[in-house]
């Protein structure tokens, strides 16, 4: 039995950023800056249609 899981890149980055903010609140500025840069790069290079198949 093979199970296909489709993960989009943007929600994974958002989830990771949220967890890091909860664990290390002092890093909020850096996490938000990294998140915004990552989302901008994904938008510019069309990575929003990238899916991970696990």
13-41 burial: b if 16+ Cβ within 10 Å, else e: eeeebeebeeeeeeeeeebeeebeebbee
Q: What is the DSSP letter of 2?
A: -
What's the pTM? 0.50
Q: What residue spans define the domains of the chain?
A: 8-46
Give CA–CA dist 18/23, Å, rounded. 9
pLDDT digits (tens, 9 = 90+) for 3-48: 555 567 778 878 888 888 888 888 888 888 888 888 888 788 876 5
Residues constituting the chain = 54
């Amino acid at each position: 039995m093979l199970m296909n899981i489709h993960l989009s890149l943007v929600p994974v980055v958002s989830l990771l950023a949220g967890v890091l903010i909860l664990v290390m609140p002092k890093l909020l500025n850096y996490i938000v800056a990294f998140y915004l840069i990552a989302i901008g790069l994904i938008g510019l290079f069309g990575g929003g249609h990238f899916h991970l198949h696990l």
